[in-house]
Structure 1
């Protein structure tokens, strides 16, 4: 199993355990309140969305992964989403190691 598949499995596990949030407004609030430990942004998101999240995450020193497209994120978490965030430190560290 490659690292992309392992990362997607990890996102699904985080979703089922309640440690993954998704949706632009919710993730943006989590970044501002520093609840988000890592943000997963779709590589095919709009330029405005990319710029907004990359700037916010840089400002709050939150890592971002942009190596999944919208379909991969949606398949992993079971919802159609462009952006998601993991709120648990352990899941976030595991996802960063798979990068």
Structure 2
């Protein structure tokens, strides 16, 4: 639970720092312009959205990270409910990956 709260806080800071593109189309634009360090995917994203995000992240060569938050929870954290987000800072994205791994270890 502690890691999930840290991840929530990091998402909020990332958005406030202007290092996040919210929504599938803005995320695809960030991938196209090579500004995205990675893509975030909400836990309850549709299968079609998951496939599309996986395709575009693989095409751009950036990692895709599924978060333990729903679209609604993501909306509470960053101010906009969406299933896909692009993180445009490598440091933020690496920390999110580490916290997600820690969170999955806590739930095991």
TM-score computed with the length of structure 1 as normaliser? 0.89
Aligned to 2:56: 56
Q: How does 1:26-37 map onto structure 2 within 5 Å? A: 26-37=26-37
Q: Please state how far the C-alpha of 1:44 moved relative to its aligned partner.
A: 1.3
Number of residue pairs aligned between Structure 1 and Structure 2? 99
CA distance in 1: counterparts of 2:59 and 2:25, whole angstroms: 17
Considering fraction of residues, name the structure with more strand. 1
Aligned to 2:93: 92
Unmatched runs of 5 consecutive residues or more in structure 1: none
Misfit runs of 4+, over 4 Å:
none
Unmatched runs of 5 consecutive residues or more in structure 2: 101-108
Residues 1:13 and 2:18 are matched in the alignment: no
TM-score computed with the length of structure 2 as normaliser? 0.82
Q: Please state how far the C-alpha of 1:72 moved relative to its aligned partner.
A: 2.1
Taking only aligned residues, the RMSD between alpha carbons, in angstroms, comes to 1.4
